[in-house]
């Protein structure tokens, strides 16, 4: 098990390999479709983002509201492919990690290789368990988006797996290849 602290440095990212099990401690940010679109449009206009994502990780999640006495509600990953149109621009900006579930397109993988970034997967269906690793949550941008606002999360030993490393090795592709029937 690899322990990582945020923000991520290029050497942290480049040493990770497809299939590595990782525990993340520190700050991560949330972001889904609507927030990604706004950030993408801001960058296209030459504007600064509302948060500095250089060296950071975005978790593709729209957390459920917290019950009384809890930091956050269920916080399971959402399908990453919906962020694919926007991800290369954020990687160029300096984003170093993404957490979600599901496949990524070729443009995202090429941008990860070029800019030194990693794609982690979190276990879908385990949102309540993942929420236990979140120690603090606060909205830091786009509050009008409700659960799709950008949150700053303080996490401790947040469990993920490297699905695509900075060299472009893809666990989804390699896993399928490994278990295909021969002949």
- State the CATH class of domain 2-179: alpha beta
pLDDT higher than threshold 60 for residue 181 = no
Using CA atoms, how far residue 107 sits from 83, 84, 88, 128, 134, in Å, is 12, 8, 7, 32, 31
| Phi, psi (rounded to 5 degrees) for 145 | -85, 0
pLDDT at 147: 86
pLDDT tens track for 41-57: 999 999 999 999 999 99
| Contact between 103 and 81 (Cβ < 8 Å) | yes
Helix, strand, or coil (residue 179): helix
Tokens 């993942």 sit on residue:
130
pLDDT tens track for 101-114: 999 999 999 999 99
Q: Residue 173 — pLDDT band, cuts 50, 70, 90? A: confident
Residues in the chain: 183
| Contact between 78 and 58 (Cβ < 8 Å) | no
| Contact between 75 and 67 (Cβ < 8 Å) | no
pLDDT at 165: 98
pLDDT at 128: 87
Mean residue pLDDT of the chain comes to: 93
- Which positions are catalytic? 36
């Amino acid at each position: 098990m690899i322990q990582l602290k945020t923000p991520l440095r290029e050497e942290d990212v480049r040493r990770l390999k497809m299939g590595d099990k990782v525990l993340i401690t520190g700050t991560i940010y949330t972001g889904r479709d609507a927030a990604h679109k706004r950030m993408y449009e801001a960058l296209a206009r030459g504007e600064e983002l509302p948060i500095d994502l250089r060296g950071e990780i975005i978790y593709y999640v729209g957390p459920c509201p917290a019950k009384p006495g809890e930091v956050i509600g269920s916080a399971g990953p959402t399908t990453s492919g919906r962020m694919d149109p926007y991800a290369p621009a954020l990687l160029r900006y300096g984003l170093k990690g993404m957490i979600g579930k599901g496949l990524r397109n070729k443009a995202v993988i090429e941008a990860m290789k070029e800019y030194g970034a990693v794609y982690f997967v979190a276990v879908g269906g385990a949102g309540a368990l993942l929420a236990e690793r979140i120690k603090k949550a606060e909205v830091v941008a786009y509050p009008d988006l409700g659960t799709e606002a950008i949150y700053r999360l303080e996490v401790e030993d947040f469990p993920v797996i490297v699905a695509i490393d900075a060299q472009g090795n893809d666990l989804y592709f390699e896993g399928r290849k490994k278990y295909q029937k021969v002949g």
